[in-house]
Protein backbone atom coordinates (compact mmCIF):
# COMPACT_ATOMS: atom_id res chain seq x y z
CA UNK A 1 0.00 0.00 0.00
CA UNK A 2 1.31 3.43 -0.82
CA UNK A 3 0.25 6.78 0.42
CA UNK A 4 1.43 10.28 0.98
CA UNK A 5 1.02 13.55 -0.79
CA UNK A 6 0.60 13.13 -4.51
CA UNK A 7 0.43 9.35 -4.54
CA UNK A 8 -2.79 7.37 -4.65
CA UNK A 9 -3.80 5.26 -1.70
CA UNK A 10 -4.30 1.71 -2.93
CA UNK A 11 -6.63 -0.65 -1.14
CA UNK A 12 -8.72 -3.65 -1.96
CA UNK A 13 -12.08 -4.81 -0.78
CA UNK A 14 -12.07 -7.05 2.32
CA UNK A 15 -14.97 -9.04 3.69
CA UNK A 16 -14.32 -7.54 7.13
CA UNK A 17 -14.78 -4.10 5.60
CA UNK A 18 -18.03 -5.23 3.97
CA UNK A 19 -19.39 -6.59 7.25
CA UNK A 20 -18.41 -3.38 9.03
CA UNK A 21 -20.28 -1.29 6.47
CA UNK A 22 -23.30 -3.59 6.52
CA UNK A 23 -23.30 -3.45 10.32
CA UNK A 24 -24.00 0.26 10.05
CA UNK A 25 -26.76 -0.47 7.52
CA UNK A 26 -28.21 -3.06 9.87
CA UNK A 27 -28.41 -0.48 12.66
CA UNK A 28 -30.52 1.67 10.34
CA UNK A 29 -32.67 -1.41 9.65
CA UNK A 30 -33.18 -1.92 13.38
CA UNK A 31 -34.35 1.69 13.71
CA UNK A 32 -36.76 1.07 10.84
CA UNK A 33 -37.99 -2.04 12.65
CA UNK A 34 -38.69 0.04 15.75
CA UNK A 35 -40.71 2.48 13.63
CA UNK A 36 -42.69 -0.39 12.10
CA UNK A 37 -43.38 -1.73 15.58
CA UNK A 38 -44.56 1.72 16.71
CA UNK A 39 -46.80 1.90 13.62
CA UNK A 40 -48.23 -1.50 14.47
CA UNK A 41 -49.02 -0.32 18.01
CA UNK A 42 -50.64 2.84 16.66
CA UNK A 43 -52.72 0.76 14.26
CA UNK A 44 -53.89 -1.36 17.19
CA UNK A 45 -54.90 1.79 19.04
CA UNK A 46 -56.69 3.05 15.92
CA UNK A 47 -59.12 0.17 15.88
CA UNK A 48 -59.88 -2.82 13.67
CA UNK A 49 -59.97 -0.83 10.43
CA UNK A 50 -56.54 0.75 10.80
CA UNK A 51 -55.09 -2.53 12.08
CA UNK A 52 -56.43 -4.36 9.01
CA UNK A 53 -54.89 -1.75 6.70
CA UNK A 54 -51.53 -1.86 8.47
CA UNK A 55 -51.30 -5.64 8.53
CA UNK A 56 -52.48 -5.70 4.92
CA UNK A 57 -49.58 -3.49 3.91
CA UNK A 58 -47.09 -5.56 5.91
CA UNK A 59 -48.60 -8.76 4.48
CA UNK A 60 -48.23 -7.58 0.89
CA UNK A 61 -45.34 -8.99 -1.17
CA UNK A 62 -43.37 -5.75 -0.74
CA UNK A 63 -44.14 -5.66 2.98
CA UNK A 64 -43.01 -9.26 3.40
CA UNK A 65 -39.81 -8.50 1.49
CA UNK A 66 -39.11 -5.58 3.82
CA UNK A 67 -39.81 -7.75 6.87
CA UNK A 68 -37.56 -10.49 5.46
CA UNK A 69 -34.75 -7.96 5.02
CA UNK A 70 -35.27 -6.59 8.50
CA UNK A 71 -35.11 -10.12 9.91
CA UNK A 72 -31.76 -10.57 8.16
CA UNK A 73 -30.47 -7.30 9.62
CA UNK A 74 -31.53 -8.39 13.11
CA UNK A 75 -29.67 -11.71 12.90
CA UNK A 76 -26.69 -10.05 11.19
CA UNK A 77 -26.47 -7.45 13.94
CA UNK A 78 -26.69 -10.15 16.60
CA UNK A 79 -23.85 -12.18 15.07
CA UNK A 80 -21.73 -9.08 14.42
CA UNK A 81 -22.02 -8.02 18.05
CA UNK A 82 -21.01 -11.49 19.24
CA UNK A 83 -17.85 -11.20 17.13
CA UNK A 84 -17.34 -7.67 18.44
CA UNK A 85 -17.41 -9.06 21.99
CA UNK A 86 -14.57 -11.42 21.06
CA UNK A 87 -12.66 -8.55 19.48
CA UNK A 88 -13.14 -6.53 22.67
CA UNK A 89 -11.39 -9.38 24.49
CA UNK A 90 -8.51 -9.16 21.99
CA UNK A 91 -9.39 -12.37 20.15
CA UNK A 92 -9.89 -13.00 16.44
CA UNK A 93 -7.75 -10.23 14.97
CA UNK A 94 -5.54 -12.41 12.80
CA UNK A 95 -6.48 -11.97 9.14
CA UNK A 96 -7.68 -15.54 8.62
CA UNK A 97 -9.74 -15.43 11.83
CA UNK A 98 -11.24 -12.04 11.00
CA UNK A 99 -12.18 -13.19 7.50
CA UNK A 100 -13.64 -16.46 8.80
CA UNK A 101 -15.60 -14.49 11.39
CA UNK A 102 -17.06 -12.28 8.69
CA UNK A 103 -18.08 -15.28 6.61
CA UNK A 104 -19.61 -16.86 9.72
CA UNK A 105 -21.61 -13.68 10.44
CA UNK A 106 -23.11 -13.65 6.95
CA UNK A 107 -23.75 -17.41 6.98
CA UNK A 108 -25.41 -17.23 10.41
CA UNK A 109 -27.63 -14.32 9.38
CA UNK A 110 -28.67 -16.04 6.15
CA UNK A 111 -29.31 -19.44 7.76
CA UNK A 112 -31.27 -18.11 10.73
CA UNK A 113 -33.32 -15.78 8.56
CA UNK A 114 -34.27 -18.60 6.22
CA UNK A 115 -35.01 -20.94 9.13
CA UNK A 116 -37.13 -18.29 10.89
CA UNK A 117 -39.21 -17.62 7.78
CA UNK A 118 -39.51 -21.34 7.02
CA UNK A 119 -40.97 -21.88 10.49
CA UNK A 120 -43.40 -19.01 9.93
CA UNK A 121 -44.61 -20.58 6.68
CA UNK A 122 -44.77 -24.10 8.16
CA UNK A 123 -46.84 -22.86 11.11
CA UNK A 124 -49.13 -20.98 8.74
CA UNK A 125 -48.41 -17.61 10.30
CA UNK A 126 -47.87 -16.10 6.85
Residue-wise pLDDT for 67-96, tens only, equals 999 999 999 999 999 999 999 999 999 999
| 85 found inside a domain | yes
Position 1 in a domain: no
Which value, to the nearest 10 degrees, does the dihedral of the CA atoms of residues 82, 83, 89, 94 take?
170
In a domain, residue 31? The reply is: yes
- For residue 60, tell me if it sits in a domain: yes
d(CA 86, CA 97): 11
Domain assignment present for 77: yes
Range of the domain at 76: 15-122
Please state the domain count of the chain: 1
**Inside any domain, residue 7:** no
Q: Per-residue DSSP letters for 49-66? A: HHHHHHHHHHTSHHHHHH
CA angle, 96 then 99 then 104, to 5°: 120
CA distance 99 to 81: 15
Pick 1 or 49 by higher pLDDT: 49
- The answer to whether residues 31 and 74 touch, using CB atoms and an 8 Å cutoff, is no
**Average predicted confidence (pLDDT) for the chain:** 92
Query: Which CATH number do you get for residue 86?
Result: 1.20.1300.10
pTM over 0.95: no
Q: Residue 126: pLDDT band by 50, 70, 90 thresholds?
A: confident
Residue predicted with more confidence, 125 or 112 = 112
Q: Is the pLDDT of residue 105 over 60?
A: yes
Predicted confidence at residue 13, as pLDDT, reads 84
Give residue 51's Cα distance to chain centre.
26
Q: What is the pLDDT of residue 103?
A: 97
Is 52 domain-assigned?
Answer: yes
Spatial contact of 66 and 57, defined as CB atoms under 8 Å apart: no
Domain annotation covers residue 6: no
Amino acid sequence: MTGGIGSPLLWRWHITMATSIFHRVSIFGLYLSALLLAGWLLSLAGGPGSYAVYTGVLGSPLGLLVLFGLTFTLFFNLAYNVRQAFWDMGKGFKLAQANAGSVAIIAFAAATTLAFWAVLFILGVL
